A and B are shown apart, each in its own frame.
Chain A
Amino acid sequence: MSHPESSTPIVRCEVDFTQRTEYHHGMEAIKAAHKLLAEATFTPTLPDKGYTNRTLYVNVGTREIMEKPVTQQMKDIFLGGRGFGLWHLWNAVTPATRWNDPANEIIISPGPVSGTTQYAGSGKSLVVTLSPQTDIPIDSNVGGYFGPLLKFSGFDALELQGKADQDVILFIDGQKGVIRIEAAPLEPVDSHVLAEVLTRMYAEDDADRVNISVVSTGAGADHSLIGMLNFSWWDHRRGCVRLKQAGRGGIGTVFRDKRIRALVCRGPVVKGGLNNPADPETIARTGIKFHKEMRANDDSQCKMRRNGTAHIVEIMDAYDLLPTHNFQYGSHPDTHRIASPVWQARCTQETVDGCWYGCSMACAKGADGLVLKTGPYKGHTVTVDGPEYENAAGLGSNSGVFDPDDLLELNFYCDTYGICTITWGTLTAFVMECYQRGILNLERTGGLDLTWGNAAADLEMMHQMARGEGFGLIAGQGIHKMKAIFEARGWGDPKLMADIGMECKGLEYSQYMSKESLAQQGGYALTNKGPQHDEAWLIFMDMVNKQLPTFEDKAEALYYFPLFRTWFGLNGFCKLPWNDVVPSDNASTSEPAKVPEHVQNYVDVFSATTGIRIDKDELIHQSAKVYNFQRIFNIRMGKGTRSFDIPPYRSVGPVTREEYESRAERYDKQMMEEIGVDPAGRTTDEKIAITRDHRMKRYNSLVDAVYLRRGWTPDGVPTLARIQELGLDAFPEVVEIVKNHGG
């Protein structure tokens, strides 16, 4: 599908990127109201070969503060990051634990490589908790400085457990070796205010602000199941805090349920080498090689430094992959209004935007000078982080919103209210389609006209949710629970809602159309945590390149890529420098899709950091241990088997007549050539049924092939042989779970 480009020239916005509404007035009174509830001291230490070899446990309910050793087994099996998070969570909860029990934990772990300043994209943290949306572990990979500063203070992970009886702030001072739990009764609620106030409050002087990172959420997390966490860093060029999001699965909701208002870490002054790697020369050499490649190739490839991930908006549209009107369609005539030239003009280009030191990809763009039109900050001038592709697609095309300023305002409020932009985009698309089909109406929404593209109603629904009232409160429950609420009220056909509600395992889909890529249907629904594209993005390989013609080919891709990408989250790497730029000779390698030179870079940087020599096969083996452990964790929590890997039909094929008829030529051709049925003379309903039957059979054959390749039973349980191969039989409960489920 292609559409004529807009003839409107893109005008560069002339915005002073240092100007915005400031919020630190009255800070002294806020600080004076703090009350010390608990304090502990520790000896700050720097990592040795990427590990500090201890973690920090804080129970905000009992106010216990404790150091724990990192064992050799933890490193050998779980590596760090998401692996450490899952291991701590496993030990903290039982199969009966739910997200809002005090036993549930939030674990933040940066991983052994995180904090490296020489190789691009090496400052991520992983956050793990039991999700209020899915009741299984959720993991989220997030930038900002908190994780690296935590490690440089002396801890490989932070475990948060318990529930406080009042709003608290946890302060970790990695310069002075002090940890404090403070009652914080007067703090502002929303992240863009709170992070600024706390950064200024805990910094000892202006120069110290870069050493502070705040983890916070906002009012949305108090009243919904879709809360996220904002991780801050001080942007000294702009003179403000910036935020990166641990978005998926409701981690912010758990945070507020524990009555944590914020985490503040004050780390040491960051410089190269704080990670004390085993072989600093190799890291420096590999980093410089990548920086040169970035400088040479970015302008002719993805232009990440100018556009960030939003560079693919118009590309997704061109390939009929941009979700539009709740994933009904893959393109829209107005896409040019939210395409990358618009964001290039709207985002400040006169500054470098990395979410950790040394990232030459620097894609963390900021749109400055937005004057808000609605909500509690109406009239304020703010900086919006992004928008990233997911936000442009989810808050934009998928809900029919094509006005860039509306989209930025939605993005801003999602961030400051502490709710996941991807989830909000997908659930708004769902309720708008419910409105289109009469499942919802003005009376049922309490007066919200949720017509496609009505950004004012979309924003009002979000403000309602943040205030804890009206239809916004229902929307904030997420699609899975909304379907049950609508059904209980007799508002619509449950089968239709099951088909068009784009969630799996309780989590909303991220923003890619998977209808024409069987591999991506699996790439979404066969994920451990729910349908997020960060395990596997196979649409081009499968649908466009036709590189995965057989079930076995697709299964191989769904074996390799999820394991490869899991590894980023074990170490604290960002995924983007892997394949949003490629070496000039990448095309002449045997497997260009894997970007072999970059894979070798990762092998080299890991080996040079930890002193543990690995190769690209060992990298996959490291991931497989954690990936299979997470699968077994899901089974332990009562999910994780085949029936939970079934996608909503909207992600597999056309649900409605309009959808079928909009691409009738494509579907009719497939019916003739792939199914062997002549579509001539058949009604659209008959053709939809035939297509559905074929596609669901095909999906099930894919699941069989993937489970086999992963070493799982036909019910999706890792076999005993597979867990022995991975060393997971060291844990008796793992063995028991597998045996009890026929593994």
Chain B
Amino acid sequence: MITVNGDKAAWSPGMSVQDVLRARNFKFPLLVIKVDGALVQPRDYAATPVPDGAVVEVIHLMSGG
């Protein structure tokens, strides 16, 4: 299991940040993502592994009218 924005979520071997975003349908472009407190840059979403038990924060900024 991992924690995503405070919610428990399923974990699978080889899971990346990109996989977490896809699983949660997080499509917003202005995100600040941290895995166990470490900031992940957008270019590294696909290559950054999410270990079992990780705490993932996907902070959505604001935009729009």
Residues of A within 8 A of B (CB): 1-2, 300-302, 309, 311-312, 314-315, 318-319, 388-390, 510, 533-534, 537, 540-541, 544-547, 549, 575-576, 579-580, 582, 586-588, 592-593, 595
Counted as pairs of residues, one from A and one from B, with CB atoms less than 8 Å apart, the total is 77
Binds A, one of B12-20, B21-29, B46-54: B21-29
Shortest C-beta distance, B1 to chain A (Å), equals 17
Contact bitstring B1-12, A, C-beta under 8 A = 1, else 0: 000011100000
Q: Pick 30 A–B contacts, CB within 8 A, sort by A.
A: A1-B25, A2-B25, A302-B29, A309-B65, A311-B63, A312-B63, A314-B27, A315-B27, A318-B27, A318-B28, A319-B28, A390-B65, A533-B64, A533-B65, A540-B28, A540-B61, A540-B62, A544-B5, A544-B60, A545-B58, A546-B5, A547-B59, A580-B63, A580-B64, A586-B32, A586-B61, A587-B32, A587-B41, A588-B39, A595-B61
Is the beta-carbon distance between B59 and A592 smaller than 8 angstroms? yes
- A593 to B63 alpha-carbon distance, docked (Å): 10
In the assembled complex, which residues on chain A have CB atoms less than 8 Å from the CB atom of B32?
A: 586-587, 592
In the assembled complex, which residues on chain B have CB atoms less than 8 Å from the CB atom of A2?
A: 25
- A347 to B61 alpha-carbon distance, docked (Å): 26
- A592 to B29 alpha-carbon distance, docked (Å): 14
- A97 to B43 alpha-carbon distance, docked (Å): 59
- A588 to B59 alpha-carbon distance, docked (Å): 12
Shortest C-beta distance, A515 to chain B (Å), equals 18
Is the beta-carbon distance between A546 and B6 smaller than 8 angstroms? yes
Is the beta-carbon distance between B25 and A534 smaller than 8 angstroms? no
What are the 8 tightest A-B residue pairs by CB atom distance, in nearest-first order? A540-B60, A587-B32, A546-B6, A580-B63, A318-B27, A312-B64, A592-B32, A546-B5
Interface residues on chain B, size class: 20 to 34
In the assembled complex, which residues on chain B have CB atoms less than 8 Å from the CB atom of A544?
A: 5, 26, 58, 60
Is the beta-carbon distance between A301 and B29 smaller than 8 angstroms? yes
Shortest C-beta distance, A645 to chain B (Å), equals 22
In the assembled complex, which residues on chain A have CB atoms less than 8 Å from the CB atom of B25?
A: 1-2, 318-319
Is the beta-carbon distance between A300 and B42 smaller than 8 angstroms? yes
In the assembled complex, which residues on chain B have CB atoms less than 8 Å from the CB atom of A390?
A: 65
Shortest C-beta distance, A387 to chain B (Å), equals 12
Closest B residue, CB atoms, query A1: B25
Q: A544-B5, A588-B39, A592-B32 are in contact. Are A579 and B27 (CB under 8 A)?
A: no
- A544 to B41 alpha-carbon distance, docked (Å): 20
In the assembled complex, which residues on chain A have CB atoms less than 8 Å from the CB atom of B61?
A: 540, 579, 582, 586, 592-593, 595
- A562 to B32 alpha-carbon distance, docked (Å): 23
In the assembled complex, which residues on chain A have CB atoms less than 8 Å from the CB atom of B26?
A: 544
- A163 to B65 alpha-carbon distance, docked (Å): 34
Q: How would you classify the secondary structure of chain B's contact residues: helix, strand, loop or mixed?
A: loop
Of B5, B26, B61, most A-chain CB atoms within 10 Å = B61
Shortest C-beta distance, A423 to chain B (Å), equals 14
- A331 to B58 alpha-carbon distance, docked (Å): 22
Shortest C-beta distance, A122 to chain B (Å), equals 18
- A169 to B65 alpha-carbon distance, docked (Å): 32
Shortest C-beta distance, B45 to chain A (Å), equals 12
Closest A residue, CB atoms, query B6: A546
- A587 to B28 alpha-carbon distance, docked (Å): 15
In the assembled complex, which residues on chain A have CB atoms less than 8 Å from the CB atom of B28?
A: 315, 318-319, 540
Closest B residue, CB atoms, query A308: B65
Is the beta-carbon distance between B59 and A593 smaller than 8 angstroms? yes
In the assembled complex, which residues on chain A have CB atoms less than 8 Å from the CB atom of B64?
A: 309, 312, 389, 533, 537, 580
Known A1-B25, A575-B65, A580-B64; 19 more pairs at CB < 8 Å: A314-B27, A319-B25, A389-B64, A389-B65, A510-B65, A533-B65, A540-B28, A540-B61, A545-B59, A579-B62, A579-B63, A580-B63, A582-B30, A582-B61, A586-B61, A587-B33, A587-B39, A592-B32, A592-B61
Is the beta-carbon distance between B62 and A541 smaller than 8 angstroms? yes
- A388 to B28 alpha-carbon distance, docked (Å): 18
Closest B residue, CB atoms, query A536: B62
In the assembled complex, which residues on chain B have CB atoms less than 8 Å from the CB atom of A549?
A: 6
Of B7, B39, B59, most A-chain CB atoms within 10 Å = B59
Closest B residue, CB atoms, query A595: B61
Is the beta-carbon distance between B30 and A537 smaller than 8 angstroms? no
- A545 to B33 alpha-carbon distance, docked (Å): 11
In the assembled complex, which residues on chain B have CB atoms less than 8 Å from the CB atom of A546?
A: 5-7
- A301 to B60 alpha-carbon distance, docked (Å): 12
- A575 to B32 alpha-carbon distance, docked (Å): 21
Is the beta-carbon distance between A537 and B62 smaller than 8 angstroms? yes
Shortest C-beta distance, A568 to chain B (Å), equals 12
Shortest C-beta distance, A240 to chain B (Å), equals 24
- A588 to B34 alpha-carbon distance, docked (Å): 10
In the assembled complex, which residues on chain B have CB atoms less than 8 Å from the CB atom of A580?
A: 63-64
Closest B residue, CB atoms, query A538: B62
Closest A residue, CB atoms, query B24: A544
